[in-house]
Structure 1
């Protein structure tokens, strides 16, 4: 039995006339009659009472009509769904991100992506940089926003922009009104670090490396995994922190953000994904990501 048998039978069942059904299907009437006979032979029963004018469906024919309509309706939905997926209009995408991606980059990406692809579900996961490769390779997420990078041979990383580093101080700190600072100014300050591996004896923190590059061994008062926790400790007066400039665009009670000198380092924002990723949904998301990142205002 083939789909054409169902379509042919439904045309006859609706028209109750072989000639009209054949005209509607654009085939010869004898060919249509033969196809219906083949269908009945395969089922082993009659679907039509041919001795009446107009034709009448048998009890089995009425049941078969209902079921055939349901089968074809489901098929039409499946075909439409596949085509929408192919155009990137439906589906889902998993997005991993570091905290700072939510400051300026991710909100406009998500707003535009939702407007252009309302049928796609976006699942968001805040994941530390060193944990993102596993999430991507295990297909728990499709893309990851990461900094300073993950440097994994099986993944692609694209640099989106470089963001200046600023100093986060308690609002009542003696330097809170300064126009700018040097990392060397923080030599005697209690420092709060975030990110990096938390294993004892192993520290991959990008922020610690910035202190050392400036000839400063930071006096680490606290180390947290997430930037928001570090900024909370700054607001509580527990120390100072280095952070991406984008954090200063989000009001935080008790925290002042002071730019570093013009020669200060910056930190890249990158997007990572699997090199063989061909999903139209993911490609659409990456396209929007590149365009939004390119349109962000200059930092200085």
Structure 2
């Protein structure tokens, strides 16, 4: 059963005659008749009662007509959707992200991506930085947004696009005596209880950050190990200690804590987009571009 045969059959029913259907389709009436005969042979019964003028549908024809229309419409939708996916205008994309990016970078990028490719569905997966490369390699994730503290080696199969070089800020309860300052030195945090995050044996971020604080000659006893950054900020608000976060986290954040710039921290974190080197699909390119725009990355900046 060919698509053309269904098309000719429905055209005859809609037009009321083979001649009119042929005129509308710009084909010879004999071509339509030949295809209808082949279709009837395949079905094992006649679709039209040709003993009447104008000819009418047989019981088989009445059964077949609405289903043929549905099948033609479904085939057309399939062709359009497949073409859209091939052109990168339709489909889906899976994006992994670290939780600290939902304060500013990720929502802005998602809005821009939706405007550019409204028919592409975004599948979001919250995932620690260390777990994202494996998910990218397996195909479960198309774009990863990670926070790095120090150089990471992801090998040649993953492309890294630096989005933000994010300086650290100190986070205090809103009423803390330090909150009236525009900036402080790291040394001024000496002796204050520190809230570490994220609490996960497979992540390096917490250990590396506490090590950098210690290497700067500042002692901050760990008061709490928070599971993730939201918990750490809530503990700060509850006056359980202070913590350090990237400056980008301060955007659109809670009102019961304050962020104070560190004037001489000496180390920063980076927000980086990860993609498969071999993946040049339109949704991936568009999402990375949206991330770069949200981060204010110059258009000419190359990935590495």
TM bracket (short chain): 0.7 to 0.9
Residue 275 in 1 paired to residue 256 in 2? no
CA distance in 2, matches of 1:74, 1:110: 31
Q: Aligned match of 1:214 in 213, 216, 239?
A: 216
| Conserved 8 A contact 1:85-1:280 | no
Q: Which residue is equivalent to 1:37?
A: 37
* TM-superposed deviation, 1:62: 2.2
1:228 paired with 2:230, answer yes
1:166 aligns with 2:166: no
Q: Is the 8 A contact 1:104 1:246 kept in 2?
A: yes
User: Are the structure 2 counterparts of residues 190 and 6 from structure 1 closer, same or farther at C-alpha, using a change threshold of 3 Å?
Assistant: same
Distance 1:38 1:170 in 2: 81
Partner SS state of residue 205, structure 1: helix
1:68 aligns with 68
Structure 1 position 241 matched with structure 2 position 227: no
Q: Does 1:100 find its partner at 2:103? A: no
Cα distance in 2, alignment partners of residues 205 and 234 from structure 1: 19
Q: In structure 2, the residue corresponding to 1:169 is in which secondary structure? A: strand
For 1:238 and 1:37, locate their aligned partners in 2 and report how far apart those are by CA, in whole Å: 83
Aligned mates of 1:67, 1:203 — CA distance in 2:
59
Give the whole-Å Cα distance in 1 for the aligned partners of 2:245 and 2:76: 53
Q: How does 1:1-300 map to 2 (within 5 A)?
A: 1-148=1-148, 151-153=153-155, 154-195=157-198, 197-198=200-201, 205-261=207-263, 264-294=266-296
- Aligned Cα RMSD in Å? 2.8
Partners of 1:203 and 1:107 lie apart in 2 by 23
Change (3 A) 1:209 1:21: same
Deviation readout 1:193-245 (Å, 9 max, x if unpaired): 21374369x88633123213413354222222312211222222222211111
SS at match of 2:277: coil
After superposition, the C-alpha distances for 1:27-69 in whole angstroms (9 at most, x for unaligned) are: 2223332222222222232222223322222221222222211
TM-score, normalising length: structure 1: 0.85
Rate the CA distance shift 1:248–1:44 in 2: closer, same or farther, 3 A.
Answer: closer
1:71: how far off? Answer: 1.0
CA contact (8 A) 2:129 2:147 kept: yes
How many residues align? The count is 295
Counterparts of 1:204 and 1:247 in 2: how far apart (Å)?
16
3-state SS of the aligned residue for 2:183? coil
Query: C-alpha offsets along residues 247-276 of structure 1, whole Å, 9 cap, x if unaligned?
Result: 333353442322111563221111112233
Change (3 A) 1:20 1:203: closer
Partners of 1:89 and 1:119 within 8 A in 2: yes
Any conservation in 2 of the 1:166–1:257 contact (CA below 8 Å)? Answer: yes
Structure 1's unaligned 5+ residue stretches are none
Does the CA contact (< 8 Å) of 1:96 and 1:144 recur in 2? Answer: yes
Q: Distance in 2 between matches of 1:240 and 1:216?
A: 14
> What TM-score results when the alignment is normalised by the length of structure 2?
0.84
> Cα–Cα, structure 1 residues 249 and 44, in superposed 2: closer, same or farther, change >3 Å?
closer
